[in-house]
Amino acid sequence: MKKNKITLLCMIFVFVMTVNCTFAASNSTVTSKDWLDPSVPSFSKTYEKYFEHVGFAVEYGNFGNGWGTKQELYYDEVQKGLAKHANQITMGNEFKPQFVMAWWGNKPTVSGSFTASNGVTIKTPVLNGLQRIDDILAICKKNNLKMRGHTLGWHSQTEDGFFCKDYDKSKALVSRDEMEARLEWYIKTVLERVDNWEKKNNNGQHIIWAWDVFNEATPDGGSSWLRTDSKWYSVYKNGDFLVDAFKYANKYAPKDVKLVYNDYGGIYGTSVSDKHAKQLRVVDLILSHKDDATLPTRLDAMGLQSHHSVKNSAGAVEKEITDFLAKGIDVQITELDIGTWNSYDKEKDIVGVSGKQFNSLSDAYKAYFQVYIKNRKTASKHGVESITVWGLNDENTWLNMEYQKKWLGNCNQFPLLFTKPNSNKWVYYTKPAFYAVIEAAN
22 pLDDT tier (thresholds 50, 70, 90): very low
The rounded distance, in Å, linking the Cα atoms of 135 and 133 is 6
- What pLDDT is attached to residue 66? 55
In terms of domains, do 13 and 161 share one?
Answer: no
Report the pLDDT value the prediction gives residue 29, as an integer from 0 to 100.
62
Euclidean distance between CA atoms 265 and 308, whole angstroms: 8
Q: Mean pLDDT throughout 213-224?
A: 97
Same domain as 208, residue 120: yes
304, 386 Cβ separation under 8 angstroms: no
pLDDT at 262 > cutoff 50: yes
> Are residue 13 and residue 91 in the same domain, yes or no?
no
Domain that holds residue 262: 34-441
Alpha carbon distance 353, 375 (integer Å): 29
Single-letter amino acid code for the residue at 379:
A
Q: How far, in Å, CA of 391 to CA of 92, rounded?
A: 8
Same domain membership, residue 118 and residue 18:
no
Residue 10 has pLDDT above 90, yes or no: no
Contact present, 262 and 217 (Cβ < 8 Å): no
Say how many CA atoms lie within 13 Å of 2 toward its Cβ. Answer: 0
Asked whether residue 26 carries a pLDDT value surpassing 60, the answer given is no
359 backbone dihedrals φ, ψ, rounded to 5°: -85, -15
Residue 172 shares a structural domain with residue 24: no
Q: pLDDT (tens digit, 9 = 90+) per residue, 142-163? A: 999 999 999 999 999 999 999 9
Length of the chain counted residue by residue: 442
Task: Find the distance separating the first CA and the last CA of the chain, reported in whole Å.
Answer: 33
With a threshold of 0.85, does the pTM exceed it?
A: yes
CATH of the domain at 173: 3.20.20.80
Domain count for the chain, please give it. Answer: 2
Mark whether 335 is an active-site residue: yes
Backbone angles phi, psi at 302, to 5 degrees: -95, 130
Name the active-site residue from 159, 180, 335, 385: 335
Q: What is the Cα–Cα distance from 388 to 42, expressed in whole angstroms?
A: 15
